Amino acid sequence: MEPFQLVLARNFNIWNYAAAICSEERAIEAAKRWLLIPSQTPRCPSCGRPMNAETNINYKLGFRWRCRRAGCNVIRSPLKGTFFERSNVSILNTMRLLLHFFRKDKVSQAARDVGVTRKTAIQIYHYLREVCEVAEAHDRDMIGGDNDIVDVDETHLYTNKYHRGRLLQRQTWSFGCISRLTKKIHVELIPNKIGPH
């Protein structure tokens, strides 16, 4: 199955993902199709001309960008400004760790399955959490406005049923609001309800 179609497939699962992304080349192809790696030739930041690919098997993608204009000679990694720029792991293993992260697998399990050290898996998971935080903060929209009513409420999650059973150590509260006009929703967990108001 083609990597781009994989995400759109109804029967998307771990087996399809593993079959579609089975080698470093397929992982790079998938990352390009999913726009995680740019596929266009960049322009030189110094002179503005298109850069040339300089091949070498020691580079992570097998090439790097170089401006051949006399006096310019700017060198740039094709991974510059991407998700993979800070990663010292192969694209294939990063994509595999990405799947484990989305499945909410434990770090130790992901490290074992992918074949990397636990420390490496922890670093990738930490970076993925940072990316999620930035994406979530970026996509946050304002709710409300003129001629709009916003309903606000809080709720207690994970409570005992009929006051029976053991007491839960983790008491989780959430705060939510919904716009009656646009139907936009915002929900946020309250980390500490007892804290100062």
User: Would you state the pLDDT for residue 85?
Assistant: 83
This prediction's pTM? 0.63
The C-alpha atoms of residue 134 and residue 142 are separated, in whole angstroms, by: 17
* Average pLDDT over every residue of 163-172: 64
pLDDT band at 173 (very low <50, low <70, confident <90, very high): confident
Q: Going by C-beta distance under 8 Å and a sequence separation of 6 or more, which residues neighbour residue 119?
A: none
Strands 185-190 and 172-179: antiparallel
Q: Of 130, 55, 118, nearest to 89 (Cα)?
A: 118
User: Would you state the pLDDT for residue 169?
Assistant: 60
User: Would you state the pLDDT for residue 5?
Assistant: 61
The C-alpha atoms of residue 62 and residue 78 are separated, in whole angstroms, by: 10
The C-alpha atoms of residue 30 and residue 95 are separated, in whole angstroms, by: 9
Tokens of 30: 């998938």
Write out pLDDT tens, residues 33-90: 888 888 888 888 888 888 888 888 888 888 888 888 888 888 888 888 887 887 788 8
Residue found under tokens 């596929």 = 39
8 A C-beta contact, residue 34 and residue 6? no
Across the beta sheet with 172-179, the strand order is: 150-157, 172-179, 185-190
How many Cβ atoms from other residues are within 10 Å of residue 36's Cβ?
18
Tokens of 41: 């030739």
Question: What are the structural domain ranges in the chain?
Answer: 150-190
> What share of the chain in percent tops pLDDT 70?
81
